[in-house]
Amino acid sequence: MRIAAADVVVTCPGRNFVTLRVTTEDGLVGLGDATLNGRELAVASYLADHVVPLLLGRDARAVEDTWQYLYRGAYWRRGPVTMAAIAAVDTALWDIKAKAAGMPLYQLLGGACRVGALAYGHASGRDLPELFDSIRLHLERGFRAIRVQTGIPGLATVYGVASSAAGGGDRYDYEPARPTALPVEETWDTRAYLRHVPGVFEAVRHEFGPELPLLHDGHHRMTPIEAARLGKSLEPYDLFWLEDATPGEDQAALRLIRQHTTTPLAIGEVFNSVHDYTTLLGERLIDYVRSAVTHTGGVTAMKKLLDFAAVYGIKSGLHGPTDISPVGMAAALHLDLAVHNFGIQEYMPHTAEALEVFRTSFTFADGLLHPSDAAGLGVELDLDAAARFPYRAAYLPVNRLADGTLHDW
């Protein structure tokens, strides 16, 4: 089962996606997601210029060996570009292996531990009425866990808050990457944020009751002591988690937050290796691992990371915004089903255009996602549809304080 071709497909059905399509001599096709939001072409080049020539003629069955060959063989280790490229190869080879076996991938990973993966959706609003509408809309669509992001008085735009109003039955979404010549600049004020957020959660609990799991994303904007204060002030509202409280590269920051609050903590969407987690897991400083299969070296690396987390009783909460392609999403769902220490899965439905390009088979019903029992990942790439949506440069925003100082976005 030799690799005969490996093609990098860049497409923009509403937003950019980079996909590796690996074909074996006997005609099996495997897909891997290599999308790095806002820096997509760097991974496309890494794959096309430096990885594809190494794949041709290799044994497609040698998944672990190929992972090690690309990781150790590059000499330059880790980093989001390298690890997204390795993830795409790894995921495509798992897709091929599962198709060759005639099984859904989760069966090769040990079989299902549950009937489906509890998903959380993204509700947001500039004010409470808009937020409540958005939460109701998500509940109507079947979500049983909700991330809550709110506008902040005095700030024009805030991460995670859709700029158009909710309601009307239309899809309610937030897409931060915008096709502008330069990144959009937003203004941030942590003190205003810390003053406003606890009252919002109090109002949401009052309106929707004590049972609904609520999540919140701090998006790496606080100092450790600010995050500790927020976690403490949110304790009465029983959050499922507080995510990305502090900048991701500072593992020791979580130690300080942990000393002050019992609000569960989640982090890891910008991580790309198990080595980003050694302090966090070994000292039990977090409760949920937030990495994406796409940015962490693929199915092989994510399975090992989650098994490492399981040793410490820490659960999964895999990254799943719309910049994770349907291929990356499917890979996450197979892991969600197969690992014992599953916690929750982030789920932002893709646009109709994206689903024209990526023909998915995964399902969402009664709050649970299921990857389907199709052989492999269960996603097909329509090359003709992909060609209709050419790449468009888009940037994530940047964030400045009122005095112009650049802050974490």
Q: Under 8 Å CB-to-CB from 198, ≥6 apart: which residues?
A: 230, 233, 234, 237
Q: Report the sign of the C-alpha dihedral through residues 53, 95, 108, 343, in that order.
A: positive
Cβ of residue 220: shortest distance to Mg ion, in angstroms? 8
Q: Let me know if 219 is a catalytic residue.
A: yes
Cβ of residue 172: shortest distance to Mg ion, in angstroms? 18
Cβ of residue 101: shortest distance to Mg ion, in angstroms? 35
Q: Let me know if 159 is a catalytic residue.
A: yes
Q: Which is nearer to Mg ion, 58 or 147 (CB)?
A: 147
Q: Per CB under 5 A, which region of 7-15, 217-225, 258-266, 352-360 contacts Mg ion?
A: 217-225
Q: Which is nearer to Mg ion, 19 or 291 (CB)?
A: 291
Q: Per CB under 5 A, which region of 195-203, 237-245, 250-258, 310-318 contacts Mg ion?
A: 237-245
| Rounded-to-integer distance, Cα 258 and Cα 261, Å | 6
Binder to Mg ion among 95, 189, 217, 276 (CB under 5 A)? 217
- 201 to 84, 145, 263, 264, 267: CA distances (angstroms): 35, 14, 13, 15, 20
Q: Does 226 bind Mg ion (CB under 5 A)?
A: no
Q: Per CB under 5 A, which region of 32-40, 68-76, 146-154, 212-220 contacts Mg ion?
A: 212-220
Are 227 and 246 within 8 A, CB to CB?
A: yes
Cβ of residue 376: shortest distance to Mg ion, in angstroms? 29
Q: Per CB under 5 A, which region of 77-85, 96-104, 265-273, 362-370 contacts Mg ion?
A: 265-273
| Rounded-to-integer distance, Cα 162 and Cα 196, Å | 18
Q: Under 8 Å CB-to-CB from 306, ≥6 apart: which residues?
A: 289, 316, 335, 339, 341
| Rounded-to-integer distance, Cα 347 and Cα 320, Å | 5
Q: Which is nearer to Mg ion, 15 or 122 (CB)?
A: 122
Q: Does 323 bind Mg ion (CB under 5 A)?
A: no
Q: Does 244 bind Mg ion (CB under 5 A)?
A: yes
Strand (E) or helix (H) holding 380? strand 379-381
Q: Helices marked H in 248-297 — which ranges? A: 253-260, 278-282
Q: Under 8 Å CB-to-CB from 112, ≥6 apart: which residues?
A: 106, 337, 338
Q: How many residues bind Mg ion (CB under 5 A)?
A: 4
Catalytic, out of 46, 106, 120, 159: 159
Active site residues: 159, 219
Give the footprint of Mg ion on this chain (CB under 5 A).
217, 243-244, 269
